[in-house]
Amino acid sequence: MNSMDSIKSDPKEFNRLVTLQTDGPLSNAQYILFIARVMEKLHSRIPREDCDLSKVPAPVEYREERFDNVNHKRAVLFLLSNGCEWAIKNGNGCTMCGHLAKQTRSLAPLNADDLISQFMGEFGRIDFDQAPILNLYNNGSFFNEREIPERARIRMLKEICNNKSIKMLVVESRPEFVTENLMEQTKALLPDVHVEVAMGLETMDDKKRMISVNKGFTLKQYDRAIQIIRKCHLYPRSYVLLKPPFFNENEGIEEAIKTTKHAFEIGATTVSLEACTCQKYTLTEYLANSGLYRMPRLWSIIEVIKRTHRLGNLIVGLFQFFPSPDNVPYNCSKCSDRVLEALKDYNRTLRIERLEDLDCTCKQHWSDELLHDHETYEQRLGTFVRRVLDDEMLNS
């Protein structure tokens, strides 16, 4: 057994290795393994629940999105599944994602009939004349047949095709499940629907995507998936994460801008700017509770929009996840509600004018912060590692 194998099989061996390395930072691979171990511990705290696989975990939610220059209602349908395979079997999931807490987390194969029952039960209640956009989420990868069996996926897509009021469908996937065969099949099943396949690029920096987000794929893999989606006449949607763990506010802004530019350049139809939130049983929650992370400011969202909105169809995710976050981006008690309303209005219109002339005394504090946090990314990682090794609860 080599040293990396021993680290994977024995967390105590990894802790020993970390404590011995007092002369410098860890390697990238060691950080990745360390964070995966922490995520595994955090996920082990999720309480077990009895799940009825024939029913969805939450009612359909109604939100808004602009499509074909018109603001529409959109129906968001959540399916109950085992959860994202990346979170339950491989890398222990993305550092900011708490979706796993409301999935079964079972390794047993899903029954296609259960998923079809869930879908049909909610699909029939939606008035698509009033809400012609459908977001169909399984809190994982729609095209991973170990999460959504082929028979269930095809049945759902056929039902969507049969409803002529549906103008647009959004599903999500990791890039490794985006293949020409599946994209061509989806296009054939939905020839007249605008289908967006959403993927979380988060940051274009491979090292920081692996460490800060624990994403488990490279920019090259992501870019290849974008090209496959476009080749098959579907539409790529990119999620860009504002201020991942271990980023300061200014780094978060600049990286989100670079990543948004790359996403549009490589062929994304839509970029959804997702400011980091705090969900239960996640690394972001652990860091926030330890005083090592703070949610981004709403001013930072506006700064990214102002510097990238001309590049393409840029929308803002407004922290509406399932399960809901405990903490979300904010400014101060005097202006946060007003700024959030302006962001909602921007999404309805995609007009940057909706974000002009916003001000508050806290905006100057935000500007000052951008200039005065000089701790490096590596220093923040080192502080985190020391905090974890001192945490008796995580090391028990």
Report the largest interatomic distance among the alpha carbons of the chain, rounded to a whole angstrom: 64
Q: What percent of the chain has pLDDT over 90?
A: 78
Residue 374 has what pLDDT? 78
Higher pLDDT, 24 or 129: 129
> Tokens representing 180?
């020409």
Residue 20 neighbours by CB under 8 Å, 6+ apart? none
Residue 3 has what pLDDT? 36
**Which tens digit of pLDDT belongs to each residue from 56-98?**
988 999 999 999 999 999 999 999 999 999 999 867 899 999 9
Q: What percent of the chain has pLDDT over 70?
A: 93
**Which tens digit of pLDDT belongs to each residue from 314-347?**
999 998 888 888 999 999 999 999 999 999 999 9
Spatial contact of 173 and 144, defined as CB atoms under 8 Å apart: yes
Domain count, the chain: 1
- Alpha-carbon distance of 204 to 201, in angstroms, equals 7
- Cα-based distances in Å from 225 to 127, 190, 266, 321: 33, 19, 10, 24
Residue 268 is part of which domain span? 3-395
Residue 6 has what pLDDT? 41
CB < 8 Å & 24+ apart, contacts of 380-383: 380/246, 380/248, 380/292, 381/25, 381/26, 381/31, 381/211, 381/246, 382/25, 383/292
Residue 372 neighbours by CB under 8 Å, 6+ apart? none
Question: In which band, very low, low, confident or very high, does the pLDDT at 17 lie, cut at 50, 70 and 90?
Answer: low
Residue 10 has what pLDDT? 56
Question: pTM of this prediction?
Answer: 0.93
Higher pLDDT, 2 or 126: 126
pLDDT > 70? residue 107: yes
Question: In which band, very low, low, confident or very high, does the pLDDT at 11 lie, cut at 50, 70 and 90?
Answer: low
- Alpha-carbon distance of 169 to 26, in angstroms, equals 43
Residue 246 has what pLDDT? 97
Supply the CATH number for residue 165's domain: 3.20.20.70
For strand 270-275 and strand 313-317, is the pairing parallel, antiparallel, or unpaired?
parallel
Mean of per-residue pLDDT scores for the chain: 91
The 10 Å CB-count burial string (b at 16+, else e) for 287-309 is bbeeebbbbbbbbbbbbbbeebb
Spatial contact of 165 and 174, defined as CB atoms under 8 Å apart: no
